[in-house]
């Protein structure tokens, strides 16, 4: 009897192979864009992937400020736990949201080429905002620098993903909000930008505009992901994160730092500001590109000696007062 080919269809249509690497990601539109971008870059190398969405503590806390709830590490903890447990092979983060101290056993395997690191105002340009207009941002850095530019504005926390924040502005709950240019561009929302600040007007967060690919320290995933490394970007963000680390590493520190490469020289500028924008210290430093971390640490020490130490004490005192108030209200 002639075999029925339909009974042996698996011989002609084998099941697809299992994905080689699992990417852990938050479920927001921006996080998924970033995960899919890295997946496409890995795909171009012949590496198959799948994306697993992981809900983080920060995703559950949509009303409390980051300062009240422990900072941006809330958006990475569950993902890093999944990495350590072997449930996923890599995670893709906005590098500005990744704490400088990674859990033991994990590594920043690669930093792809950076996008625009600047900040944008969505709603209206700064000069068109009425006196006393309400501006939404949950970033202490952005709030403090905005108060330097326009002390008359009312700056209040705003939470939610990018779409939620844009909706709150459109509905009139806020006159404007501040967001990263890179995030808006990645989501195809560049048309929402009313103004882009220069890096002198608003110095970006360390690592802003860059992605960080996190893996376990040992294993195939790290070796594969290393192929996505962009050396110039890595040097820049290593320098910026060294400034942050030398100052204590807190995600809520009102610190801006941006490194830029000019030939064989790396130049970094930074600013520390009191939360209300009353006092600030600016400084810059430069050196050979190979000494990125040393340049960052030296700049941090310059900031401290120029008055940054007093600002850090004020920031710590304000955070302590806010935490005590939160406990009393609980």
Helix (H) or strand (E) holding 109: strand 106-110
In the sheet that holds 193-196, the strands lie side by side as 154-156, 134-136, 176-180, 119-122, 193-196
Residues 6+ apart with CB under 8 A from 169: 122, 123, 136, 175, 176, 177
Whether 219 contacts 90, CB under 8 Å: no
- Provide the token pair at 134: 């309400």
CA distance 32 to 300: 34
Q: Which residue has the tokens 């830029």?
A: 260
Whether 98 contacts 76, CB under 8 Å: yes
Which ranges in the chain belong to alpha helices (H)?
A: 9-12, 29-44, 57-60, 66-69, 77-85, 140-149, 162-170, 181-186, 220-225, 231-246, 292-303, 309-329
> Cα angle vertex 230, ends 227, 231, to 5°?
110
Residue 184: CA atoms inside 13 Å, Cβ hemisphere, count? 22
CA distance 226 to 230: 9
> Cα angle vertex 178, ends 174, 179, to 5°?
130
97 is catalytic: yes
Q: Which of 200, 179, 321 is nearest to 258 (CA)?
A: 200
Q: State the catalytic residue, choosing from 89, 97, 119, 238.
A: 97
The catalytic residue positions are 97
């Amino acid at each position: 009897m002639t075999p029925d080919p339909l009974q042996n269809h698996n011989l002609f249509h084998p099941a697809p192979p299992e994905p080689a690497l699992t990417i852990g990601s938050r479920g927001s539109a921006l996080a998924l864009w970033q995960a899919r971008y890295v997946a496409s870059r890995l795909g171009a190398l012949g590496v198959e992937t799948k994306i697993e969405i992981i809900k983080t503590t920060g995703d559950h806390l949509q009303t409390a400020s980051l300062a009240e709830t422990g900072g941006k590490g809330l958006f990475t903890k569950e993902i890093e736990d999944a990495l350590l447990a072997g449930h996923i092979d890599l995670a893709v983060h906005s590098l500005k949201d990744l704490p400088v101290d990674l859990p033991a056993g994990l590594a920043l395997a690669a930093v792809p080429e950076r996008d625009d690191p600047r900040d944008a105002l969505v709603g209206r340009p700064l000069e068109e905002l009425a006196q006393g207009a309400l501006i939404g941002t949950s970033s202490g850095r952005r709030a403090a620098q905005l108060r330097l530019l326009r002390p008359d504005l009312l700056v209040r926390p705003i939470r939610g993903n990018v779409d939620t924040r844009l909706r709150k502005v459109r509905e009139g709950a806020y006159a404007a909000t501040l967001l990263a240019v890179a995030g808006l561009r990645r989501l195809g929302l560049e048309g929402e930008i009313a103004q882009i600040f220069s890096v002198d007007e608003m110095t970006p967060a360390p690592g802003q505009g860059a992605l960080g690919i996190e893996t376990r320290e040992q294993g195939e995933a790290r070796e594969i992901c290393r192929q996505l490394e962009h050396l110039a970007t890595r040097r820049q963000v290593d320098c910026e994160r060294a400034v942050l680390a030398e100052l204590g590493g807190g995600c809520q520190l009102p610190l801006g730092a941006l490194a830029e490469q000019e030939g064989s020289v790396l130049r970094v500028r930074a600013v520390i500001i009191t939360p209300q924008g009353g006092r600030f210290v600016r400084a810059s430093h430069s050196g050979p590109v190979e000494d990125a971390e040393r340049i960052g640490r030296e700049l941090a020490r310059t900031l401290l000696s120029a008055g940054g130490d007093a600002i850090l004490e004020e920031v710590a005192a304000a955070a302590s007062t806010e935490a005590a108030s939160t406990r009393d209200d609980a």
